[in-house]
Amino acid sequence: MSPDRGKRVVVGLSGGVDSAVAAWALKEAGHEVIGVFMKNWEDDDTDEHCTSREDLVDAVSVADVLGIEVEAVNFAAEYRERVFAHFLAEYRAGRTPNPDVLCNSEIKFKAFLDHAIALGADCIATGHYAGVREREGQFQLLRARDASKDQSYFLHRLNQSQLSRTLFPLADWMKRDVRACAERIGLPNHAKKDSTGICFIGERPFREFLNRYLPREPGDMVTPAGLRMGRHMGLMYYTIGQRQGLGIGGQGAPWYVAAKRLERNELVVVQGHDHPALMAPALTASDWAWISGEPPRTHGPLGGKTRYRQTDAPCEFVPGPPGTGRAEVRFHAPQWAVTPGQSVVLYEGDVCLGGGVIEHAEAGAGSAQDRVHAAA
């Protein structure tokens, strides 16, 4: 979508400083701007950890300062069906999902986009740190200028239709400049802390939240050889590479989670950050989504991320057998703590190509993950 002047743009106002400055920038550029506050969770919005009421107040205050209309829209039913149900199913299966990825593709750039179109919008905009451009009739998702805030990883499942109607006003902004601008123009939330964690969990304790929805099944914590090291509270509470909260300290190198044996309800732990069980030269992923609609055709190296805050790792994309929906990503150097359920996202330079959901990692020879996968 071209950022030409005079378009009707519906902006997702979250109550945070990024979406507020995005709305201001669009208005300054001559667009007709309408704000929409999305309420995506309401199971426990009276809870002390839930900030939705405070966020709505902040969004309304921002709209008042900017002189734009704002509407609150409830997408809680869509969120529960399209995002939260998947989140619980993945944890039941022993994986560690990333609900923010689905929230973007299913809620912020689908349910919200549909609502905006019904309001007569030419396009939508958000405060995400990412970019979009059109090249030869194709829309590309780009990294943001501020590498420390780039959010293209979480947007990799967007498609051509969604990107064609999306503006990212903060693509070329540095975070420090966003806050300085917000303070200069008198936005009431200029010093508001950035939100952290999974959107619907917020600041509440993760175990406490998950225990409301899934039964706790304690079991043994073992080494790859089967030596019992302690007890775990339930496999769903742990993720690959986790060090804190294991309760098995003592002398020597720290202990880390290396794998989950669902059939035995065992949590496999290893000692040492660089243990072979934590290092993966390759992975298999499925449920691939490509920005262009097609997988990459290049045989040259790409950049791959298996987690958000990670430097690109040089890798090759290797398509799997036709009809399986699977493909391999082979890294030039082993990657640490590759986690089933998380996303692997591929880049060519600053262009985000898309990504898939990690099924399993090909860990070091004779490692815990290899044995777990072989037994599955």
Pairing of strands 327-336, 313-319: antiparallel
User: What are the φ/ψ torsions at residue 369 (nearest 5 degrees)?
Assistant: -65, -40
User: Which residue among 50, 103, 315, 352 is the active-site one?
Assistant: 103
Amino acid letter, residue 341: G
Do the strands 69-74 and 32-39 form a parallel or antiparallel pair, or are they unpaired? parallel
Please tell me the distance from the alpha carbon of residue 52 to that of residue 47, in angstroms, as a whole number: 10
| Nearest by Cα to 161 from 33, 319, 1 | 1
Known active-site residue 352: no
Q: Which of 50, 123, 199, 352 is catalytic?
A: 199
* Residues contacting residue 38 through CB under 8 Å, at least 6 positions apart: 12, 14, 73, 75, 107, 108, 112
- How far CA 46 is from CA of 42, 52, 54, 340, in Å, comes to 8, 9, 11, 33
* Tokens found for residue 11: 């902006």
Contact (Cβ atoms closer than 8 angstroms) between residue 197 and residue 203: yes
* Exposed / middle / buried, residue 93 (Cβ in 10 Å: 0-12, 13-18, 19+): middle
Nearest to 63 by CA among 185, 183, 187, 181: 187
Cβ proximity of 256 and 269 under 8 Å = yes
**Residues 33, 65 contacting (CB under 8 angstroms):** no
Q: CA 265 from chain center: how many Å?
A: 27
Treating both helix axes as pointing N-terminal to C-terminal, what angle do 175-184 and 17-28 enclose, rounded to 10 degrees? 70
Residues marked active site are found at 103, 199
